[in-house]
Structure 1
């Protein structure tokens, strides 16, 4: 059983910048919607998911409260892209995805919550995103019997004949990229910060230095314990472990000021949110009649013809997710759903922020 979780706004932005100047006969911009439809159809064909959710940002409330300038560095969303936001959920829905957006919650945290719960039930989870924070989730599962969590990444150009046109990034791939295992990605980002999200790191600490520090000390907690024991960084023991005076001073200052403690909260995923749609309600259910009508409206003629052809073929009944192995506690009241649009016109940075 496989659950696909898609970072909706990331793919909308990526599609907008990948396809330029596409409009219908009424002059309405459709490039983001076309690229999104193409990407989602490709995922369905390549991954064959049994269930799928299209998850959108509903706000940044929790992190902005801690750091008011969180993501304040992002440019305004182009008007032509903003005009297409209302239809993102429509495209996902007709293709069989369940669109999910919760007021005040970031997509990262919803994705993490769905991924953890599905994995706990033994369901394999594939996440389509480019967000570094999500790398923390990757792995075979926290306990025996849990489902694996991987990151979907399309492969373009240079493919080998007969090889898949996509990669599923596992724990080994995360380690190869970052120099630390997935469970230490949060430690690494606490030290480096995240320029994309306007989270400042420790001055002079980049990914390689952070990975070295974590490898040498085991975990961020063990490194912080050393700094707690010597807040000024003057002891021979700390000097022996962190030889650079400049690095030692920067780490001590960041720890004393609370900078590292704040960063740790900022980059941590809130992975126990109440699920606004239960896992059992995420079965992939494409609606080919609705696809044909929607794609006709947008004038995506190839997609329209494909949907009309599928209407002539009897469809198989969608699979259901397995039941929880043990009774689950009563869910907390779900936050209200909001329209499929961002809480402000500021959007995610896509260009120049690709994972590999």
Structure 2
């Protein structure tokens, strides 16, 4: 049987659950929509992935990216208080279910996922990352794949190339050139997806492009000389953007130190479900 490890972008699921059930409140007036929705979605993942190991990863604190580029993700709203107060109860429930929820102060979930994915691959795991973040595409290999959290479609190297028209190892270079509006990364003005993809496919990564700028004039681009000028003008910015889009895979975290197999603590779960009036899950425990 293949060794299979599931890495879940917990921050994505947290927000998805909250906005799916934003007004769900228990009888004591405590908001429980994110907790309820998260558990519901997580149980579905568990059901369709039997004989797998699971790790749930969350963002925590201010990323180093914000420190080197103040506008990074600046268009995103602060976490609603009704969501924030549900995080600690949710983490307790996940732990009581027998699973590990991982977060490191001032480290983004993507960097933890990247670090764990590569370590797992080296240990001969097949890795499936549940995330919608396009940055994650750069991690894809024959053994590391992305699962779309909405329709559960699986993307390997071929699917990533079909979607972005560059191979996974060039995703961060592409985003540095063309920008990423979700993370508020501007990219190079005037270099959109078509030009960015052509530059990468014909020349290679950013370093190679900048070492061969004269070739840009010879590529069949409309306004090739103008593109070269823009690349020169925004060189410093592009390499800054590349630092923002490149997932770190060397976080101080060891897969060997994590508990992949934990027994659920039923009494603890019952207590938590009673406290937050999650009667559906409480009934399920009593039936088991």
TM-score, normalising length from structure 1? Answer: 0.74
Tell me by how many angstroms 1:26 deviates. 0.6
Aligned position for 2:193 = 207
Gaps of 5+ in 1: 141-147, 157-165, 231-236, 311-356
Aligned position for 1:248 = 228
Higher relative contact order (CA 8 A, sep 6+): 1
Q: Distance in 1 between matches of 2:168 and 2:255?
A: 27
Aligned position for 2:155 = 169
Q: Distance in 1 between matches of 2:150 and 2:8?
A: 17
Describe the SS at the equivalent of 1:195. Answer: coil
Aligned position for 1:133 = 135
From the superposition, tell whether residues 110 and 294 of structure 1 become closer, same or farther in structure 2 (CA, over 3 Å). same
Aligned position for 2:144 = 149
2:49 to 47, 50, 55: 47
Aligned position for 1:329 = none
Tell me by how many angstroms 1:303 deviates. 1.8
Q: Distance in 2 between matches of 1:20 and 1:309?
A: 28
Q: Which protein is richer in helix relative to its size?
A: 2
Tell me by how many angstroms 1:175 deviates. 1.3
Describe the SS at the equivalent of 1:71. Answer: coil
Deviation readout 1:49-96 (Å, 9 max, x if unpaired): 532211111233422232122222211222211221222312322333
CA contact (8 A) 2:119 2:255 kept: no
Q: Distance in 2 between matches of 1:183 and 1:27?
A: 48
Q: Distance in 1 between matches of 2:209 and 2:10?
A: 36
CA contact (8 A) 2:140 2:157 kept: yes
Q: Distance in 2 between matches of 1:200 and 1:132?
A: 16
Note the aligned Cα RMSD (angstroms).
2.0
Aligned position for 1:163 = none
Aligned position for 1:292 = 270
Tell me by how many angstroms 1:18 deviates. 1.5
Describe the SS at the equivalent of 1:199. Answer: coil
How many residues are matched? 284
Aligned position for 2:176 = 190
Gaps of 5+ in 2: none
Matched, 1:90 2:92: yes
Matched, 1:304 2:282: yes
Q: Distance in 2 between matches of 1:49 and 1:184?
A: 33
